[in-house]
Structure 1
Amino acid sequence: MRTVRAWGAVIAVTVALTACSVKQDTNNAGGTGDRKEVSFLTFETPNLTPAYWDAAIKRVTDSNPDIKVTKLVAPTTQGRTDYAKQLLQSGQFPDVMIAVDPAGFAEAGNLYDWKPEELKDFQFPSANPIKGGHHQLPANTQTIPPVYYNKKMFADAGVTGTPKTWADLLDAAAKLKAKGLTPFVTGGGKDGFPAAMIMTGVVSVDVYGKTPDWLTQRRADKVKFSDPLFTAAVAKFADLAAKGYIDKDSVSRDYAATEQAFLDGKGAMYPMGNWFAANADTKKHDFDIGVFNFPTDDGRLVVPAYTGGGMSVNAHAKNLDAAKRFALAFQTDKQQIDVSVKADGLVPAIKGYQMPADIGPVLKAGYDLYQEAVDKNAVVNSFGWETADDGLLPGMKAKFYAVAQDVITGRKSVADACAFLDTEWAKAK
């Protein structure tokens, strides 16, 4: 978090570089002897299907034929980080894993600490340090959350333009509700995080927008969730639910069903990570989709984003060199990155990488919004998505997701929700 604004300033320069550091397809196998087995923990979403992973693995192993990859898939009923913990406890910790929160694993010495020379192709090699080490490849940037919206519903409700301030957002939601339309599509269920997307947005722009190192201060016990700044952000989220702008019965809906509900026209606004843009451009729907930044009180530009999410390697992998080579090849191969961009809407944080010219209009619009924020030094961390010393303590993400559902349904008041987070934080420490 301390360096996110500096990283943002660098993007505008590095993205435009013509001296490309992205690796092209090669047949440099690194040896033709016995194949070295590497287990790879993946996960599946509406964007990242089994076919996507199989093709991605094949692209890398075709260029590294001495590596044999065994794909593991985290169950949809269990978060991939929790599943990785389960595998570790049972002595089956994978050799390579992607988008697994390194907190806890790294401190215990279970993850390989990437060396500076191994991170030379990444824009932000110092991103997300854990006790001075780097245990997850800083492969891409994601904005979490922009707000996707149904342009037809906005027009039908008389909403002109896109909300810039919180008052604009409330006005749009009131007009949509008056027309019998559901303002916000949300979910939760076994996936948890869809219920917290709005709260992530409010906390990020209101708390980090004023105090960028707030979570660092929380780790030092200088601030609390029950303090006025954080409580006020949660109160705004609770107000949306109290006004009926969020369907309380939808919190049992999992991520895939939540996305489909928006595409089916069951609500007007869908706060979600920028990975949704890939499906917005490719999946069937009968309305145009727009995107705007999460609004602030005064209209000031504040864009929550997270750089990281890449591969981690088991420090004790039997074939450690092969595991590292596979991870680096997967994350820096241009063909693979191009496919990832179109499949998952991410913004690669690789030196010299240029976005494909044929990306869809929603992805392009979101990318342009992010670049504007970079140019104006308006990027902050996305609350709850950090994975380093400045992130939530291990286990706290699940508590945050649960609190969001409880606030939506009214099971917890704002005060109770914030007090609960403080209590759980003390337990986690």
Structure 2
Amino acid sequence: MRRLGVLGAAVIVTVGLTACSVKQDTGGAGDGTPKEINFLTFETPNLPPAYWDAAIKRVTDKYPDIKVNKQVAPTTQGRTAYAKQLLQSGQFPDVMIAVDPAGFAEAGNLYDWKPGELGDFQFPDANPIKGGHHQLPANTQTIPPIYYNKKMFADAGITATPKTWAELVQASEKLKAKGLQPFVIGGGKDGFPAAMIMTGVVSVDVYGKTPDWLTQRRAGKVKFADSDFQAAVAKFADLSAKGLLDKDSVSRDYAATEQAFLDGKGAMYPMGNWFAANADTKKHDFEIGVFNFPSDSGKLVVPAYTGGGMSVNAKSKNLDAAKRFAIAFQTDKGQIDASVKADGLVPAIKGYQMPSDIGPVLKAGYELYKEAVDKKAVVNSFGWETADDGFLPGFKEKFYAVAQDLVTGRKSAADACAYLDTEWEKAG
């Protein structure tokens, strides 16, 4: 993202400090009446129920006047759609995490955090919607690096990680020639695993040249069918046309996709840096490496996103309790440490120190991110942006669907881009 190259530098400067700067305010409501709030979460292989329960308990131990009812979105990537359903049925949660604020904020359904309330966050101005801030800017994630099976690379005679797109294709063809599946991808009910390669190639090729491309799309200055965007999509479609993607795998959900890589069913796994946590902790019988998504020329371009934190229902009957819970949850060092190890994120909290015992894959990915920040090579991650420079409401599902159509060959690159333009106009 345009801001992230500058903002990310703050991560490198402050990450070595010794303590989180969050203020330990233990004040409650004062009248002894429990303030009940509903908290919409999501569960993944990295963030199981026990993670959420422990984090909630730490906050409610601190604020005993707050009672939290945990709600869980039915699919890992369906939380925004589920939040919309809850809003329409009059059950909009008081607090929600990693829900895309677009649409909710403009309609006045999300609380607009004030500058004085964001003092513990490194990037308080991240992801504005019409000048307001409706989601706590809690962490940074790179989306996607490419994780790889070092044994399969060695077996295929690949001696160096790809730095260019041509090298990536060549490595994929060597793997295929050895009878090895080059990429592990998915889709299914979660959608996004099918789109990871498309996210990478568009971020690197399009945003690498025009960092504000999606902002320009919102303004009607560019289209998906334009040559630069369509050329990036064609590279993704070409992988499938060459037999380098498993067309049948798009029915596989996120958890099964991750497990397929850990089970050695493919050599490369394009995924957000949250996978690093499981790469370091889950059982597998090979060494995992990681490299940046390659560009045509080898120029370093690293897609990333800062945000993903909590939003609060502006109309919550217990608004103060909801706000206190959200801030305390996001700045609790125990929760941050657990989420770093479980989900591989880079916390965007002032004064936070990364745990010394993070695993080698997470550490390697973090070093790649630091290099990108140092070289001012960080751009938005296509499809993961929020706020004024993000997708229009409801468009993300169209993006996931078209990515699956490109993998299976149901759409050509030209057809896919024309479809995206049509759906964009409908969403607008």
How does the TM-score come out when normalised to structure 2? 0.98
CA contact (8 A) 2:339 2:345 kept: yes
Unaligned runs of 5+ in 2: none
**Paired residue for 2:228?**
229
1:210-249 mapped onto 2 (5 Å cutoff): 210-249=209-248
Q: CA deviation at 1:17?
A: 4.4
**Paired residue for 2:322?**
323
What letter is aligned with 2:117? E
CA contact (8 A) 2:304 2:378 kept: yes
What letter is aligned with 2:56? I
3-state SS, counterpart of residue 188 of structure 2: coil
1:23–1:280 CA distance, 2 compared to 1 (3 A): farther
Q: CA deviation at 1:78?
A: 7.0
CA contact (8 A) 1:23 1:334 kept: no
Q: CA deviation at 1:161?
A: 1.4
**Paired residue for 1:427?**
426
Q: Distance in 1 between matches of 2:3 and 2:209?
A: 16
Q: Distance in 1 between matches of 2:361 and 2:77?
A: 30
Q: CA deviation at 1:59?
A: 1.1
Q: Distance in 1 between matches of 2:104 and 2:237?
A: 34
Report the more deviating stretch, 50-59 or 12-21: 12-21
Q: Deviations over 1:354-404 (max 9, x none)?
A: 100001111111111111111111100000001110001111110010000
What letter is aligned with 1:207? V
2:78 is the alignment partner of 1:75: no
CA contact (8 A) 2:142 2:305 kept: yes
CA contact (8 A) 2:77 2:192 kept: no
What letter is aligned with 1:218? R
What letter is aligned with 1:142? Q
**Paired residue for 2:362?**
363
Q: Distance in 2 between matches of 1:230 and 1:23?
A: 45
1:302-341 mapped onto 2 (5 Å cutoff): 302-341=301-340
Q: CA deviation at 1:198?
A: 0.3
Q: CA deviation at 1:15?
A: 2.6
**Paired residue for 2:196?**
197
Q: CA deviation at 1:132?
A: 0.2
1:11-410 mapped onto 2 (5 Å cutoff): 11-17=11-17, 20-22=20-22, 29=28, 31=30, 33-76=32-75, 79-410=78-409
CA contact (8 A) 2:20 2:349 kept: no
Q: CA deviation at 1:19?
A: 7.1
Q: CA deviation at 1:408?
A: 0.5
Q: CA deviation at 1:171?
A: 1.2
Q: Distance in 2 between matches of 1:7 and 1:419?
A: 35
Unaligned runs of 5+ in 1: none
What letter is aligned with 1:151? K
CA contact (8 A) 1:23 1:333 kept: no
Q: Distance in 2 between matches of 1:19 and 1:117?
A: 20
**Paired residue for 1:10?**
10
Q: Distance in 2 between matches of 1:20 and 1:327?
A: 16
3-state SS, counterpart of residue 269 of structure 2: strand
CA contact (8 A) 2:156 2:178 kept: yes
Q: CA deviation at 1:90?
A: 0.3
Q: CA deviation at 1:16?
A: 3.8
The two structures, once aligned, show a CA RMSD in angstroms of 1.4
Q: Distance in 1 between matches of 2:344 and 2:296?
A: 28
Q: CA deviation at 1:411?
A: 0.3
Over the matched positions of the two proteins, sequence identity in percent amounts to 84
3-state SS, counterpart of residue 228 of structure 2: helix
Q: Distance in 1 between matches of 2:35 and 2:321?
A: 7
3-state SS, counterpart of residue 261 of structure 1: helix
3-state SS, counterpart of residue 161 of structure 1: coil
CA contact (8 A) 1:22 1:353 kept: no
Q: Distance in 2 between matches of 1:19 and 1:103?
A: 33
1:78–1:231 CA distance, 2 compared to 1 (3 A): closer
3-state SS, counterpart of residue 190 of structure 1: helix
CA contact (8 A) 2:20 2:333 kept: no
Q: Deviations over 1:186-237 (max 9, x none)?
A: 0000100000000000000000000000001101110000000000000000
CA contact (8 A) 2:44 2:76 kept: no
Q: CA deviation at 1:6?
A: 2.2
Q: CA deviation at 1:76?
A: 1.9
What letter is aligned with 1:205? V
What letter is aligned with 1:181? L
Q: Deviations over 1:91-138 (max 9, x none)?
A: 000000000000000000000000001111101000000000000000
What letter is aligned with 1:12? I
Report the more deviating stretch, 45-54 or 300-309: 45-54
Number of residue-to-residue matches in the alignment: 428
Q: CA deviation at 1:27?
A: 5.5
CA contact (8 A) 2:276 2:344 kept: yes
Report the more deviating stretch, 171-180 or 28-37: 28-37
CA contact (8 A) 2:176 2:182 kept: yes
What letter is aligned with 1:421? L
CA contact (8 A) 1:40 1:94 kept: yes
Q: Deviations over 1:229-259 (max 9, x none)?
A: 0000000001111111110000000000000
1:291–1:77 CA distance, 2 compared to 1 (3 A): closer
CA contact (8 A) 1:176 1:183 kept: yes
Q: Distance in 2 between matches of 1:408 and 1:28?
A: 54
Q: Distance in 1 between matches of 2:182 and 2:360?
A: 23
How does the TM-score come out when normalised to structure 1? 0.97
Q: Distance in 1 between matches of 2:76 and 2:23?
A: 36
